[in-house]
Structure 1
């Protein structure tokens, strides 16, 4: 645990190169190739973190000004994901989540219930957060650990099922996104997308970034879209001309730079992904394709994700003001809205209209979930000796306080035995289904190879 905690504390820009290099060597890559891959991934994460930090640093003050201008007086403060992650890791479940998560992943790989090798151990905090909420709601650390394990199993299966779409629509071959926050929105998105399919007229609306670019020419490019949205947000925030222009160009630059940083990261991952496929095909049968599990930050560069998320920032603030039952003041986590949209892209096939509709529903429901979980979230923070913001009676966050899976686990597992049983059946059922799918696909691929020979 000491070694693992030390590596995690180094941050992704150091942790990921070390892990990638070690995995590359285990998978049979030469040292030089493995080291170069690891360092390239590290550079990619540095670039992503810088650009995402630029996004948050630009949007944060603008959002705060918009909140002030709207005169919102909401009592639950959004403290952001860094605080939520620290609180989760400081919990009793958080102290055990890394070894537990590694064991779960290994068992799932050995039993063929997942194709994902999740090397992003930092993001195990999402599962710890769910476990800590359940521990607080039930008073049982055992229930908390069970919740964290079942949550991870569900997310791993979702990562597998969405990986082909992630490759096709976001351009990340050999990568899956076992992200506890992003993946939690997939089930709801599937339902809403199906409903949209059944509504005459609505089901015919097809708007994607390529169509926008063809129709509007240069004004449909991500750079221009980001700049225009930034200018609108700057005006809504009451900025002066200089502030409006700086925000506009900054957000336009973010829409251009994030995909380029993700491409740098992919440059380092492709050799490791290829080595993983070769390693598995030589040593195991019926394993199918193996995906490298990463943080969903690598996928937020899709133009639809970024464009819709920027539009949702001011809308989420307005929603907070008018939504009955909401008490959360969104602020620190407004920059993580793209993370709630990443895994919708394979479902909506990049359709801007559908992604916006689903994203809007996610934010509305998410604010109510964050309000509902705020007392537990606050108690977790107190137990972790977190310093409360001045004037705040309760705290929450969009990530993971607005996580629908975390809420479902917390409320269902508060019902002794029945809730645990329901969630266990769902998780195990998904794992069994995934195993059957993996074996079936592998047999089909093997049959196709034999036919070609």
Structure 2
């Protein structure tokens, strides 16, 4: 039996180890074949989508390479020296995939997704398997702390269901704001911010005066002319970040050029991504119309496809120094933001879409979103450090990141499941989420969400 399990685990690790660029075209092709797309068109769609995805990730990495040194320099310039270090999502991911229960949790999440699709409780068909680590880390950390596999299964199940529903509810924003139809983004580093952002956005809508303030890229272009162009704005913001980092002139200029390049090239890569998606989308609509009475299914993908939006990059570049300042002034914070400052785009992308490109409001809401991440990272640091050490990773001092249990969604579930009163707290959390589910889909209705998102097209 042990030999069989070890063999299955080795096959699974080899499949995951092949990487997104190998897995994605075949997964998309299989989906296309399920929707009765000819094999040649299905394979071409898979290759086109993957090429677009490769281009998007290359640009995201270019942005990281431009932002990371500047962010690290700003941390040093601020004199920030806290005892919990942000080691980045990559380190947390490696700890997650090294867990002995990881294969079990992958199939649990996959099974939950299939079950919800069959029961018509989600429209998200999640193919983003390599980002399952965002959902699995909760169960793995709960298992590490409690040594109770049942609580690990429960934590992962709650995380998965919440993620798929958040993806469903935010799909209209992806279609209308980002211009990508029939796609959802079940990436927790993207969806988690809605827990804080949605109530705050609702509140701001009801504050006279504040609800009228609108600063967007479209609005800036009217007043700044050529300097309001996304490429020029990226150059200005990149140079400003280099200046805050006290870089020499040539490096300031290079930082500006790199950010400008991302601003101008990202829409072209996104367009290629959408081009490959359209045959799959058309075939899916036809298939679901025939078999499921017109039910709309969406493909769940990595949130990297939206982080190159000009408003998202603008908000993120402003929020990086703001997050460093928050780490410095927030009472009780011990987390030093560092490695994950380069991917703040993922943390604010949904906020920007929810605010329909209003950069002023996006920054206003992103401040408490990022503050919550800093506090959650501080509180979870002892557990994350101990688990990383048990996996053979050595660090000086305690570690955290802006992923894993630092995200608001995963933090709530993690602390609920390791609580001394978990037997009471966890059912209360489930009941609260079911109540939100009812309110969103029965009282607010998806039609109203669709209408809210569609207003962006008229702005």
Q: Give me the TM-score of the superposition, normalised by structure 2.
A: 0.90
- Structure-2 residue corresponding to 1:293: 300
- Structure-1 residue corresponding to 2:403: 399
Work out the CA distance in 2 between the residues paired with 1:345 and 1:230.
19
| Cα deviation code 1:20-68 (max 9, x no counterpart) | 1121112211111011111111111211121111111111111111222
Q: 1:158-307 alignment to 2 at 5 Å? A: 158-285=166-293, 288-307=295-314
- Structure-2 residue corresponding to 1:312: 319
- Structure-1 residue corresponding to 2:427: 421
SS at match of 1:95: helix
- Structure-1 residue corresponding to 2:455: none
Partners of 1:117 and 1:292 within 8 A in 2: yes
Work out the CA distance in 1 between the residues paired with 2:439 and 2:182.
21
Work out the CA distance in 2 between the residues paired with 1:199 and 1:128.
39
Q: Give me the TM-score of the superposition, normalised by structure 1.
A: 0.92
| Aligned residue among 48, 55, 61 for 1:47 | 55
| Aligned residue among 150, 153, 177 for 1:142 | 150
SS at match of 2:85: strand
- Could you tell me how far 1:399 is from its partner in structure 2? 1.9
SS at match of 2:187: coil
| Aligned residue among 33, 47, 69 for 2:77 | 69
Partners of 1:113 and 1:432 within 8 A in 2: no
Partners of 2:327 and 2:334 within 8 A in 1: yes
2:158 counterpart of 1:154: no
Query: Runs of 5+ in structure 2 lacking a partner?
Result: 1-7, 448-459
- Structure-1 residue corresponding to 2:127: 119
Summarize the Cα distance change of 1:418–1:256 in structure 2 as closer, same or farther, 3 Å threshold. Answer: same
- Structure-1 residue corresponding to 2:114: 106
Work out the CA distance in 2 between the residues paired with 1:124 and 1:170.
23
- Structure-1 residue corresponding to 2:366: 359
Work out the CA distance in 2 between the residues paired with 1:92 and 1:255.
41
Partners of 1:159 and 1:178 within 8 A in 2: yes
2:381 counterpart of 1:374: yes
- Structure-1 residue corresponding to 2:65: 57
2:413 counterpart of 1:409: yes
- Could you tell me how far 1:423 is from its partner in structure 2? 2.5
| Greater Cα offset, 265-274 or 367-376 | 265-274
What number of residue pairs does the alignment pair up?
437
Summarize the Cα distance change of 1:97–1:433 in structure 2 as closer, same or farther, 3 Å threshold. Answer: farther
- Could you tell me how far 1:11 is from its partner in structure 2? 1.6
- Could you tell me how far 1:416 is from its partner in structure 2? 2.5
Partners of 1:116 and 1:160 within 8 A in 2: yes
- Structure-2 residue corresponding to 1:128: 136
SS at match of 1:117: strand
Summarize the Cα distance change of 1:43–1:438 in structure 2 as closer, same or farther, 3 Å threshold. Answer: farther
- Could you tell me how far 1:240 is from its partner in structure 2? 0.8
SS at match of 2:207: coil
| Aligned residue among 27, 42, 49 for 2:35 | 27
- Could you tell me how far 1:199 is from its partner in structure 2? 2.1
| Cα deviation code 1:346-395 (max 9, x no counterpart) | 4211111111111122112211111111111112212222232xxx2111
Partners of 1:81 and 1:333 within 8 A in 2: yes
Partners of 2:45 and 2:279 within 8 A in 1: yes
- Could you tell me how far 1:419 is from its partner in structure 2? 1.7
Work out the CA distance in 1 between the residues paired with 2:235 and 2:99.
41
SS at match of 2:265: helix
Summarize the Cα distance change of 1:439–1:23 in structure 2 as closer, same or farther, 3 Å threshold. Answer: farther
- Structure-1 residue corresponding to 2:93: 85
2:389 counterpart of 1:385: no
Summarize the Cα distance change of 1:93–1:259 in structure 2 as closer, same or farther, 3 Å threshold. Answer: farther
Work out the CA distance in 1 between the residues paired with 2:70 and 2:393.
26
Work out the CA distance in 2 between the residues paired with 1:115 and 1:416.
30
